[in-house]
Amino acid sequence: MKRFPFLDLRRINADYSQALRAAAAHAVDSGRYIGGQEVETFERNLAEYVGANSIAVGTGNGYDALFLILEGYKAMGRLNTGDEVIVPANTYIATVLAVVNAGLTPVFADPDPDTMTLTGDRTEAALTERTRAIMTVHLYGAPAWDAKMGRLATERNLIVIEDAAQSIGAVAFDAGLNGTTTAGSLGHAAAFSFYPTKNLGALGDGGAVVTTDPTLATTVRAIGNYGADTRNHHIYLGVNSRLDPIQAAMLDVKLKEIDAVNNRRRQRATLYGSLIDNPMVRTPYNPGSVWHQYVVRIADGRRDEFREYLDRNGVETDVHYPTPPHRQPCLSSFGVQRLPIAERLAREVVSLPISDCTPIDDVAEIASIINRFK
């Protein structure tokens, strides 16, 4: 029987095979294996892609990018240990671990039940006297931003950090704090992940901080380089988190195609949306999304049955995410409250196969298999 793979990374990277090999060869022959031209070029191109006046700083991975932003603001005196940071309750655990490991207090906001993301209204509901920052997560590639979130941030002098790990190229309807609408340029600072499965995926780990604040960029770069402002002079209790030149070279090849990649993902998402017609299956509607995941919802406790049915018919699926962070054992000390929307989403969501390489015919076949689920 025909199988529909959830994600075929070999096939995705095969499209760039020649260019990736050439870029790797250049990095191998350069004699420079930390920093250098490959990293500088990719940082410049990424910054330009995200927005005017942006600065990009490569990091070891997406988690480190989040953590370094928070540590950077602490070093700048803008955040202090114990300050509250609002995070959406339905996110990948990395978002929350960065907050906790930076010595800050995560406050979980139940997401909007329609968009499945943080909104201005949901942010407002989680605000307290001690809120100092909002960590908005552009989940599944959909921008989690609206004018109200921007207004709250301005009025209350809150730092807005974007977890843009899943959302390079996504576009919000309302302008962000910089007057721009692209993911990564909406708030004060953004973290990108180049984990291999992300829309812009490296061939290993990689990440970046993007900001228009030159002081934050300099601070993040120093903290990620053992806290050194100049060679052998350490002003912060830093860490080691740098983007490898080989990964920077791979990413620079793929960055040139990211708009085409995202457009092919949009096409597939639009097709799923127009073809799936089953009262049991709720399809997502997120016009600005770059569709890192295409996530449908199955109510009435039938999610596992639906996934087994799809598997029997060759369709591989996944769940992002089956347990919300506040229900994870490591965060039990923070997760005393009930977060009904996040908990319901965790029971209902199913991610369908989607990538720029998923054949259009497969999308149609998967939709028709879904429509036969009773």
Query: Cβ distance 154 to 145 under 8 Å?
Result: no
Return the sign of the alpha-carbon dihedral for residues 50, 55, 58, 59: negative
> Cβ–Cβ contacts within 10 Å for residue 125, how many?
11
Q: Whose CA is closest to 122, among 343, 342, 347, 344?
A: 342
Question: Is the Cβ of residue 49 or residue 195 nearer to ligand PLP in the bound state?
Answer: 195
Question: Is the Cβ of residue 65 or residue 296 nearer to ligand PLP in the bound state?
Answer: 65
| Candidate list 94, 189, 250, 276; residue touching ligand PLP; CB under 6 A | 94
306-335 residues in contact with ligand PLP (CB under 6 A) are none
Query: Cβ distance 54 to 192 under 8 Å?
Result: no
Residue type at 113? P
| Candidate list 13, 90, 95, 241; residue touching ligand PLP; CB under 6 A | 95
Question: Is the Cβ of residue 250 or residue 367 nearer to ligand PLP in the bound state?
Answer: 250
Q: Is 145 in the site for ligand PLP (CB under 6 A)?
A: no
Q: Is 123 in the site for ligand PLP (CB under 6 A)?
A: no
Question: Is the Cβ of residue 313 or residue 317 nearer to ligand PLP in the bound state?
Answer: 317
155-214 residues in contact with ligand PLP (CB under 6 A) are 163, 165-166, 193, 195, 205, 207
List all residues 6 or more positions away from 272 whose beta carbon is below 8 Å from its beta carbon. Answer: 283, 294, 352, 354, 363, 366, 367
The values of phi and psi at residue 301, to 5°, are 65, 20
Q: How far is the CB of 345 from ligand PLP (least distance, A)?
A: 14
Task: Report the SS3 class of residue 228.
Answer: strand
| Candidate list 13, 54, 90, 91; residue touching ligand PLP; CB under 6 A | 91
> How far apart, in whole angstroms, are the C-alpha atoms of residue 311 and residue 46?
38
Tell me which stretch binds ligand PLP (CB under 6 A): 71-79, 86-94, 258-266, 356-364. Answer: 86-94
Residues in the chain, total: 374
Q: How far is the CB of 295 from ligand PLP (least distance, A)?
A: 13
CA distances from 364 to 8, 287, 360, 371 (A): 18, 20, 6, 11
| Candidate list 137, 149, 160, 342; residue touching ligand PLP; CB under 6 A | 137
Q: Whose CA is closest to 49, among 165, 136, 169, 137?
A: 169
Ranked by CB distance to ligand PLP, the top (closest) residue is 62
Q: Which positions from 56 to 75 touch ligand PLP by CB under 6 A, shown as an x/- string?
A: -----xxx------------
Return the sign of the alpha-carbon dihedral for residues 99, 101, 107, 111: positive
Tell me which stretch binds ligand PLP (CB under 6 A): 43-51, 87-95, 222-230, 328-336. Answer: 87-95
Size of the site for ligand PLP (CB under 6 A): 15
Q: How far is the CB of 305 from ligand PLP (least distance, A)?
A: 27
Q: How far apart are the first and last CA of the chain?
A: 21
Question: Is the Cβ of residue 149 or residue 281 nearer to ligand PLP in the bound state?
Answer: 149
Task: Report the SS3 class of residue 3.
Answer: coil
Q: Is 216 in the site for ligand PLP (CB under 6 A)?
A: no
Contact residues for ligand PLP, defined by CB under 6 A: 61-63, 91-92, 94-95, 137, 163, 165-166, 193, 195, 205, 207
